Amino acid sequence: MIFDSIKRALDSVLNIIHETDEPGTIREIYDKIPVRGNNTWMLICSAMLASIGLDTGSGAVIIGAMLISPLMSPILGVGLSVGINDREMLWASVKNLSLAAAAGLIVSTFYFMITPLGEPTNELLARTKPTLLDVMVAFFGGVAGIVSISRSDKSNAIPGVAIATALMPPLCTAGYGLALGRFDFFFGGFYLFFINAVFISLATFLIVKYLKFDIKHYVDKATERRVARIMALMLFIVVSPSAYFLYNIYQNVQTKKKIENLIVRDFANRNNEIIKWEVTDTDTLSTIKIYSVGNPVPDSLLQHYDQVLAQNSLSKHRVKLVQLDVSAEDVRRMASDITNNLTKDFLKTIEIQKMQSQRADSLMRLANSYTPVSASRELKLIFPEIDKVEVGEIVSVAENKAKLDTVMLVMIGWKKPQPANQTKNTSAVFVDPAKITEYEQRIQQYMASRFRKDSVRVSSSL
């Protein structure tokens, strides 16, 4: 009773058969299988973008290449055609997938032959050793893709599947290997692409079987069992290298943890400062390089570490010490000096900002200290032609009589030129009537600057 209730609850949550659009699913996948027309252009652009992204280490460009890649439909077509026993669709899917893969290889190889960069970036290196985790990504990505396409109300999961499974970047990594003769990159990248293709197809096949799509051609039980055995054998062959790679990664992680517990921590407890440590592998031995500063380390300690490694199944590892010619005290003193210098620089910056603020306040007080009297005196010094000056503020009313504005009014009385027969002081300065307008503009600018006023009006009289 309880198990029946649990089964019904799980069935109501996980059941997707009643929402399946079988004819629409087959039609959508089949129509997008051919690599021609716009799909060809999208394929070329995707391969070029992926190559550029791998070459420059740009994750954003690589993601863009994944999104526009048309490789997903032929791969889904392989799984669908095997699931419904459609030989025509299977042939079309395999043919177009092969053409697309060849085109991607050609485009990426051509790019990496002419690029001025060509150094192996982290994005390239990440696609040379696929593991079982990549197998899981491809499988569950394929499940999400076919489930999304098979719904009567289509969802937007396909872009996410394209990003997760990353079909074009590993293919372009293989192109990089061909262009530079790096066959480790070629086989690693192509193997990752092959894993993705196989397990997306497998996920599609299993979901199609679960959804009970109609079989196009009748298959007897013996043929069905033979196909199942062949598929199981192919999957085992495909997965085996990835399992080996994952095992190696796991072993490396465990080895580094063991080295850290046995050697690195003990070395650090002997009053030595470890800058960094790393393991470099060769054909016969692996060297544990420890970069440190501190007390001199005797050779006997290194021999002791080698014995400890041998006793813990790490006989092919040797410890090599790279000791810098400074003591731990020097390191601490340098760190303290750096901290003190940073603190001094920070305090100096604050002091400079404070001085600048005080100077700005002084300038503001100086500007506010100007009075009409002092301004009048300065105007007479600047313009000897002035006879008298009157400075004041008036209230100006706008035409709509709703807006009031305070205006500084400067009234200038100029020294009027005297006739030649009446001039007593030949050194006296008089205004040239032709320059009065120019003088008024200069006085207006001067007063606006001194008093920080937006509105200054100058009126002259002779």
Number of alpha carbons in the 13 Å side-chain half-sphere of residue 49:
20
Coil, strand or helix at 291: strand
Dist CA 229 CA 200 (whole Å): 19
Flag residues of the chain having pLDDT under 50.
none
Instruction: Show Cβ contacts of residue 7 under 8 Å, excluding neighbours closer than 6 positions.
Output: none
Other Cβ atoms less than 10 A from the Cβ of 440: the count is 16
Number of H helices and E strands in the chain, helices first, is: 17, 6
Q: Which of 380, 367, 376, 394 is nearest to 450 (CA)?
A: 367
**What's the Cα-to-Cα distance from 21 to each of 17, 18, 147, 235, rounded to whole Å?**
9, 9, 10, 29
Express each pLDDT in 256-279 by its tens digit. 888 888 888 888 887 677 777 888
Is residue 168 a contact partner of residue 104, using CB atoms and an 8 Å limit?
Answer: yes
- How does DSSP classify residue 260? I
Dist CA 369 CA 378 (whole Å): 14
Is residue 93 a contact partner of residue 81, using CB atoms and an 8 Å limit?
Answer: yes
Per-residue model confidence (pLDDT) at position 294: 67
Instruction: Show Cβ contacts of residue 218 under 8 Å, excluding neighbours closer than 6 positions.
Output: none
Handedness of CA 295, 301, 303, 304 (dihedral sign): negative
Per-residue model confidence (pLDDT) at position 97: 92
Dihedral of CA atoms 62, 64, 67, 68 in degrees, nearest 10, equals -110
Dist CA 361 CA 371 (whole Å): 18
Dist CA 104 CA 96 (whole Å): 12
- How does DSSP classify residue 202? H
Per-residue model confidence (pLDDT) at position 365: 58
Is residue 111 a contact partner of residue 89, using CB atoms and an 8 Å limit?
Answer: no
